[in-house]
């Protein structure tokens, strides 16, 4: 292995690290935007809570199942409309606080990763200067062509790595969406039984499933958020024209007015439809990513063949 080969290996490693850093920086900027939006929403909700009720601490720790049992119990047990609205907002606040904590964790992780890369840009520029000087001194057309092919192969490898990372994130989001669908289907089944006169036990089981479904939906939303971040650079480098702006909006509707809406069964069915639609959307994107990954692998194979042929005749 000659000096140029060693330089190519070193440069490929640095380019991979530089690409990873740029990807993290893009994701960090997007996470920070999400954090600001969530923080502003929390502030608005806290202001709303303060105006409606001075003390809401006693509502903390109440599960969805116990809340719904209260709402749908005897007439004497039902909360006033005003307090129902307060609890609905409090539940939304808890969901947002959990999302905020997850965003902070993601931001801190990315900041640490970026810091650990050091001055990778300077290292890359220094290596490029060394390689350009080597090619100029060789005064060989084949050396210049070999340089171009090596650069192309490095770019394809980086794109392929990004595609595989996005596919992995998509499969996680797909699995979490599937879990949410299963939970909602269970809640829907018990809800139908409850409507047919299943009694108190059926009602309790139904609300227990609703409680579980809200957790699964939140987990699915977290998975979708990570998937969306992985797609940021893939959409640019691979030119896939993937629509990702709506990936994070699907879960919000599930919490809107569900406490004050007495047609809970209808809400469950609507939620189930929306989550199923998102699952189909994710599967479509993963399929497109897989096709592009196959194309990149074929392109890389062709470049490597061209490099070997050039080396053989040089």
Listed range (21-30, 66-75, 97-106, 285-294) with the worst mean pLDDT: 66-75
Look at residues 231, 95, 212 and name the one whose alpha carbon lies nearest to residue 173.
231
pLDDT of residue 67: 57
- The band of 105, judged by pLDDT with boundaries at 50, 70 and 90, is very high
pLDDT of residue 198: 47
pLDDT of residue 196: 40
Q: Give whole-number Cα distances, 196 to 75, 118, 143, 191, 203, in Å.
A: 20, 64, 79, 9, 11
Give me Rg for the CA atoms of the chain.
27
Model confidence pLDDT, tens digit, residues 127-173: 888 887 777 677 667 777 888 888 899 999 999 999 999 999 999 99
CB 242 within 8 A of CB 285: yes
Q: Cα angle at 112 between 106 and 114, to 5 degrees?
A: 100
CA–CA gap between residue 122 and residue 125 (Å, rounded): 5
Cα-Cα-Cα-Cα dihedral of 39, 40, 43, 45, to 10°? -110
pTM of structure: 0.69
- In the chain, what percentage of residues exceed pLDDT 70? 69
Average pLDDT of the chain to the nearest whole number? 77
User: Which segment, 104-108, 184-188, 271-275, is predicted with the most confidence on average?
Assistant: 104-108
């993963």: which residue's tokens? 286
pLDDT of residue 264: 53
Dmax of the chain from CA atoms?
92
CA–CA gap between residue 193 and residue 51 (Å, rounded): 39
User: Which segment, 78-82, 198-202, 210-214, 240-244, is predicted with the most confidence on average?
Assistant: 210-214
């Amino acid at each position: 292995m000659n000096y140029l080969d060693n330089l190519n290996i070193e440069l490929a490693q640095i380019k991979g690290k530089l690409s990873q850093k740029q990807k993290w920086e893009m994701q960090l900027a997007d996470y920070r935007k999400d954090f600001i939006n969530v923080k502003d929403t929390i502030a608005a909700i806290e202001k709303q809570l303060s105006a409606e009720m001075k003390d809401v601490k006693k509502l903390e720790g109440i599960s969805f199942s116990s809340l719904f049992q209260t709402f749908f119990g005897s007439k004497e047990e039902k909360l006033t409309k005003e307090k129902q609205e307060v609890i609905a907002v409090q539940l939304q606040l808890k969901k947002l606080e959990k999302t905020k904590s997850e965003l902070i964790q993601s931001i801190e992780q990315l900041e640490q990763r970026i810091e650990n890369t050091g001055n990778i840009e300077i290292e890359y520029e220094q290596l490029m200067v060394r390689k350009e000087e080597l090619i100029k001194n060789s005064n060989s057309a084949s050396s210049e062509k070999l340089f171009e092919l090596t650069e192309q192969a490095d770019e394809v490898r980086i794109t392929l790595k990004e595609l595989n990372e996005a596919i992995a994130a998509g499969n996680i989001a797909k699995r979490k969406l599937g879990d949410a669908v299963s939970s909602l289907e269970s809640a829907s089944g018990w809800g139908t039984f409850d409507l047919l006169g299943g009694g108190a036990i059926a009602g309790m089981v139904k609300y227990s499933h609703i409680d579980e479904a809200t957790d699964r939906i939140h987990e699915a939303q977290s998975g979708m958020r990570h998937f969306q971040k992985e797609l940021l650079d893939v959409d640019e480098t691979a030119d896939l024209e993937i629509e990702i702006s709506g990936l994070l909006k699907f879960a919000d509707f599930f919490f809107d007015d569900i406490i004050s809406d007495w047609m809970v069964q209808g809400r469950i069915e609507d939620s189930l439809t929306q989550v199923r639609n998102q699952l189909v959307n994710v599967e479509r994107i993963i399929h497109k990513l897989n096709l592009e990954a196959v194309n990149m692998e074929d392109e890389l194979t062709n470049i490597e063949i061209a490099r070997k042929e050039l080396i053989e005749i040089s």
